[in-house]
Chains A and B, each alone.
Chain A
Amino acid sequence: MAEKTDVLKVMAFATNMMMESQPPEFRWRGAPLAKHWGRISDAIEQGAPVNWTSFCGSPEIFRAMGIPSIMQDEVGLFCAMFPGKLNEKYIDIAHEHLVADHVCSAQKIMIGATLCGDMPPPTMIVHAGQPCDSTLVTYSAISQYLGVPLLTLDIPGGRDERVVQYVADELERMVAFIEEHTGRKLEDDKLKEVMEYSNAAHDYSLKVNELTKLVPCPLPRMLATPLMDSAGTPEALEMYRNLYEIGRAVVEIGKGYVPNQKIRAGLFSTWVSADVPLFDWLEQEFGVMVINTMLGTDTTRPTEDLSSRRKIMEGLARKQLNAPMGRECWASIDHWFDYAVSTCREWKLDVVLMTLHIGCKNMWAVQKLFRDKIADELGIPVLIVEVDFFDGRVFSSEGIRAHISDFFNTMMA
């Protein structure tokens, strides 16, 4: 019998590993994530409810109900970073069980880990039905396989007030579902307390955004935001507060955090967890500073009106609809265009990078429209590189770097 791997320990290990790759003065940035994994491990040990979720959810509600959630994309990400090539093992298992090879590898890693028993089953699966078909279908399939209750929030593609009200209704349905399946109640006082932490962290996150717009950029790149899974926690607030204060201090000195910032880049896709040092290489080799990333730059607004549960649900719905990835992938391209154009302008970007994931069909489907929009309207070059975020076997690091080198060598010639 094959030896079992405790995926949750792998997550904690990979988190530390990731933090060690950061400059020493910024390693504390991993604290929210480390606590997140700790909460999940504790819940499993105590037999308490654990949920599986996806990007673009509302972690505040789970936090207020004391239910930790594992985000399947994070499992994919950290397994891909882990030296033991667990990602490859799990992906192969998923393929053996008829999951198509073109389905997003993040989901395949979660499925494979579950099928071989490395990932303990959750109490329930409650997730947002965005940003892609892969997310939508694989959660349904795995819930059937495990026999655990499933709730998929129905998220329309529009972004107007009618959609906000519909998603707020969906969130209320979600609360009732969680209460039914866990026996826990959502207390209004607790929700409000969590929302206050969430709002405070968001305020700092928006201030951090303003700092990263400065030239030179006073902070190191941030590839993913802890607000996706740790919103509403004291540690997320602490992290953003520290980040803001350090950034402000660096501004006062009058220097950029990374020296030799020749090119300001925006990463309008996710990073490549199968090649973690890629962006260090980019900085060192070409002086390309990634100052804005799809998952690291949260532009959602805090929920200002906390006067009633309904108002909070509406605020959370607005956040979901503008959350990273949902913002780009689930709404019409006009919504993405608006965001992308304003981001390029506000962050004074010199170049847009798109390390486009093979599993991300909806981004691939509009790559020309996107490139033309940015290049024609703003005169900013766009580099599109084929990658598999979580499986280095599909496109090699050497090939990816050669592609990027060609682009920047030409641009700088």
Chain B
Amino acid sequence: MRALEELVELAEAPYNDTVKDWKEKGGKVVGFICSYIPEEILHAGGILPYRLSPTGCTETTEADAYMSHFNCTFARCCLQFALKGEYDFLDGIVLMNSCDHLRRLYDNWKYSVGCPYMHYLNVPHRVGEGPEGWYKDELTMYKESVEEAFAVKITEESLANSISTYNRIRGLLKKVYELREREKPPIKGSEMMKVLVAGYRCPTEKYEQLLEKLLSELEKEEGISDYPARLMLMGSACDRPDFVQAIEDAGGLVVADTLCFGSRYFWNMVETGGDPISALAKSYLNNPSCARMTGNEPERWDFAMQMLQRFKVDGIICQRLRWCDLWGGETFYIGEKIKGLDIPFLLLEREQWLSGEEQLKTRVQALAEVIEGRRK
């Protein structure tokens, strides 16, 4: 089986065979919610980090009773899965103050579902020495709680090894992305999203092997040439290959992104050689940022512009989850910045599940036509 097919298979089931095998062998699995939470700590404790990504959730009846229809469907889908027992295989969860919705997901999970191990991280909303010191303390307490809950010892050495492992994964993902800089990218955006989602629910060593195989396969591909526009995705948390697929069906090829499930997750390496906890705190806080971070909006925009140039993007699609206030406010900033650029821009509002597909396609087609029209 080709690596891409294997990765697609892993991405399609939340409780896939690799996670099942892990559990059957007595391994522990801990869910985490956000790209600001370092997986390295769990990995160093011999625990499988599992990023919550409610693939296949299409309704939130039970979760709506706890939250409300004014809350984002990503959070509601996570709660729905928890309430329906889809996450019963988890031995623990680690959540954080990502946003209003996910902060409250923790409260709801704690009182309405429960879990053998629950930890909450207070992640600063800005960068700088003070916040790095704070986050280092948070990560130290988190590490200690993992050690206590799972009776494991996380040494500096094991943590340094885990950082190296994840850095290799980051490097491989970046190489796959670099192939998308080509005029004929060897992988679609929707496929890339599956590759990424697979990694959030797969033992690291297995994922590393698959990525190496994928890279060698893709390097030999001729690539995709029949596309009208090269698009970049930005905005709210998006883990939905079907959403990207719908965009690509309408005529564009997604070649780049600034998403937390995408490039922002792996773009920067964690420093090695020093104190590993300090390195994690520094790196994760200083990664290309989410709209939850304040004071570094210009750097956030600069990252988007670097991606735009590097991947020779023709048009930008900013997607925001309905009720996501972080990106609901950030689009004001983005809208003003876009005015100074000569690039077509489309703002889409969406739910966690694919809906209004035809309307979405019509709008993307219109964007692609504008881009084609500019070429003539």
Which residues does A use to contact B, with CB under 8 Å?
94, 97-100, 102-104, 107, 111, 129, 132-134, 136-142, 144-145, 150-152, 154-158, 162, 166, 169-170, 173, 329, 332-333, 358-359, 361-362, 364-369
Contact = CB atoms under 8 A, between A and B. Distances in A.
Interface string B126-148: 10001100100100000000000
Contacts of A362: 100-101, 103-104
A102 B324 CA distance: 8
Contact of A361 (B111, B122, B323, B331): B323
Given A137-B325, A154-B124, 18 more contacts: A98-B332, A102-B322, A111-B332, A132-B100, A133-B99, A133-B325, A136-B326, A137-B294, A141-B330, A157-B122, A158-B122, A332-B106, A362-B100, A362-B104, A364-B71, A365-B101, A367-B68, A369-B111
A340 B325 CA distance: 26
Interface in B88-134: 97, 99-101, 103-108, 111-112, 120, 122, 124-126, 130-131, 134
A387 to B, nearest CB: 11
B75 interface: yes
A98 B294 contact: no
Instruction: Report whether over half of chain A's contact residues are helix, strand or loop; otherwise say mixed.
Output: helix
Interface of B: 65-68, 70-72, 75, 97, 99-101, 103-108, 111-112, 120, 122, 124-126, 130-131, 134, 137, 291-292, 294-295, 297-298, 320, 322-336, 347, 349
A141 B292 contact: no
Contact of A137 (B104, B106, B329): B329
Contacts of A136: 125, 292, 294, 326
9 contacts: A94-B332, A100-B320, A100-B329, A134-B329, A141-B330, A157-B103, A366-B66, A366-B104, A367-B68
B326 A361 contact: no
Given A98-B331, A102-B323, A365 B67 contact: yes
A99 B332 CA distance: 5
Contacts of B106: 332
A129 B99 CA distance: 12
A366 B108 contact: yes
Task: Give 10 closest A-B pairs by Cβ, nearest first.
Answer: A100-B328, A365-B104, A137-B329, A98-B335, A141-B333, A362-B100, A333-B107, A133-B325, A364-B68, A361-B100
Given A100-B331, A333-B107, A365-B108, A137 B131 contact: no
Contacts of B100: 132-133, 329, 361-362, 365
A145 B65 CA distance: 39
Contacts of B324: 100
B64 to A, nearest CB: 9
A293 B191 CA distance: 52
A361 B103 CA distance: 10
Given A137-B325, A140-B294, A170-B130, A156 B332 contact: no
Nearest to B337: A144
Contact of B70 (A166, A170, A361): A361
Contact of B131 (A138, A144, A154): A154
Contacts of A98: 331-332, 334-335, 347
Contacts of A137: 291-292, 294, 325-326, 328-330
A369 B333 contact: no
Contact of A97 (B72, B320, B332): B332
A133 B236 CA distance: 13
Given A98-B331, A100-B329, A141-B330, A365 B130 contact: no
Contacts of A100: 320, 324-325, 327-329, 331, 349
B120 A365 contact: no
Contact of B134 (A144, A156, A365): A156
Contacts of B323: 102, 361
A332 B203 CA distance: 32
A124 B327 CA distance: 23
B93 to A, nearest CB: 15
A75 B260 CA distance: 34
Given A140-B295, A152-B294, A154-B125, A99 B71 contact: no
A406 to B, nearest CB: 19
A369 B66 contact: yes
Contact of A107 (B101, B292, B329, B330): B329
Contacts of A369: 66, 107-108, 111-112
B111 A150 contact: no
B329 A103 contact: yes
Contacts of B297: 140-141, 144
A141 B332 contact: yes
Contacts of A151: 295
Contact of A152 (B71, B122, B125, B328): B125
A370 to B, nearest CB: 10
A170 B128 CA distance: 11
Contacts of B329: 99-100, 103, 107, 133-134, 137-138, 140-141
Interface hub of B68, B101, B107, B325 (most chain A Cβ within 10 A)? B325
Contacts of A170: 130
A142 to B, nearest CB: 8
B294 A365 contact: no
B103 A368 contact: no
A154 B131 CA distance: 8
A166 B295 contact: no
A173 B295 CA distance: 14
A97 B334 CA distance: 10
A191 B341 CA distance: 47
B126 A152 contact: yes
Contacts of B71: 361, 364-365
A341 B369 CA distance: 59
Contacts of B70: 102, 358, 361, 364
